Amino acid sequence: MKSSLICAALLALCAAPLSAGELVVELNGPGLAESAGYLVAEARGFYAAEGLEVRLHPPGNAIPLEALARGKADLAVEFLPVALLARENGLPLVNIGQPFALPALRLTCLPEAGVQTAADLRGKTLGSDYRGQELALSGWVNKLGLRADDSLEGVSILRQWPDDAAGMLRQKQAACISTTSYDAPVEPGGTVELDPGDQGAGVLEDGIYALQDKLPDPAMRDRFARFLRASMQGWHEAVRDPEASARLILGPDPDPEALKRQTRAIKGIAPLLSAQGALDDAAYRRSVAILREGGDAAVLRADPQNAFTHEISDLARKAGQRTGARIDPTPGPRTAP
């Protein structure tokens, strides 16, 4: 992953300019529920109401930040650890908004594999989808004082099966698999769910990122602010009626099981959402501290500098106050960086 992101940073130097008439946004995956707010905002006309022409690129197998670096997108949705690591490796990314205010990463584990609590992870094999979860998982492991070094005193982190992660548990290929609080591919009962927050190891996830050189332009800042405001309206609309939102993003005559799963996932995302998409300073600092844990095994080598801005979320909030638009109650005061 590191080499891909470094290459992407170099490609940014010769990126072709995008059309000035639209805002191109690269979404993150792997599922549709993670993008429900943006899809609902598009379908309900919230972007159009802000005077924006938005083209959403659906989540796929590509790293969202590569599209940003290649000049194929204006904004990208990505996990905070992935973005900070990319910035450390030379890609000048800036977080302009944080729709997901709380982390969703969990480990779903087999009690018969000897895992009841996080203290039991020593010597175990853990699955990860390697779409950014592995970085947050590594931070959690480091916070526990373990190493992901495949030793009996550490842990092993393997790429989990993309279409059947639960099969790794059934076939005893892993003691735990990476899941989320809103979409675990294992029916409740017979497993144990571990939450990194219990050890103070939760790391922020889906944020919205732009390249640093886009931000000095007042017109672009205004477009980003309108996009953030409409997107948060889409997210809060999506979770108000999860089944209707699931039907909207799945299309006509959805498979009943797919509808059920997407409805459950969108409902589960509701507690994670930010009120207005502003990055919380304290949550950001905690996330960085976790990613800096572990000495030479740390995810990040140094504290990031100038990796986020509140200017876009402040613009979005102030414009909403002027027009009378309301998404949710205004969050409490931010702490200082």
Average pLDDT over residues 249-266: 94
Average pLDDT over residues 55-62: 81
Place 63 in a pLDDT band, splitting at 50, 70 and 90. confident
In this prediction, residue 329 carries a pLDDT of: 42
Beta bridge partners of 193: 108
Helix 242-250 to helix 256-269 angle (10° resolution) is 130
**Omega of the bond prior to 30 within 30 degrees of 0, cis?**
yes
- pLDDT exceeds cutoff 50 at 10: no
CB atoms within 10 A of CB 16: 7
CB atoms within 10 A of CB 67: 21
Smallest Cα–Cα separation from 245: which of 39, 26, 28, 57? 39
In this prediction, residue 289 carries a pLDDT of: 97
Give the DSSP per-residue string, 243-256.
Answer: HHHHHHHH-SS--H
In this prediction, residue 184 carries a pLDDT of: 75
In this prediction, residue 187 carries a pLDDT of: 64
Stated pTM of the model: 0.88
- The span from the CA of 333 to the CA of 330, in Å, is 9
User: 3-state class of 226 per DSSP?
Assistant: helix
Average pLDDT over residues 141-145: 96
User: 3-state class of 127 per DSSP?
Assistant: strand
For residues 184 and 24, the model is more confident at 24
Q: pLDDT (tens digit, 9 = 90+) per residue, 73-98?
A: 999 999 999 999 999 999 999 999 99
How confident is the prediction for the chain on average, in pLDDT? 88
- pLDDT exceeds cutoff 70 at 291: yes
What would you report as the CA-atom Rg of the chain, rounded to the nearest whole angstrom?
A: 20
Q: pLDDT (tens digit, 9 = 90+) per residue, 155-194?
A: 999 999 888 888 999 899 999 999 999 987 776 668 999 9
Place 210 in a pLDDT band, splitting at 50, 70 and 90. very high
Place 132 in a pLDDT band, splitting at 50, 70 and 90. confident
Percent of the chain at pLDDT exceeding 70? 87
Average pLDDT over residues 122-147: 94
Smallest Cα–Cα separation from 281: which of 307, 250, 261, 301? 307
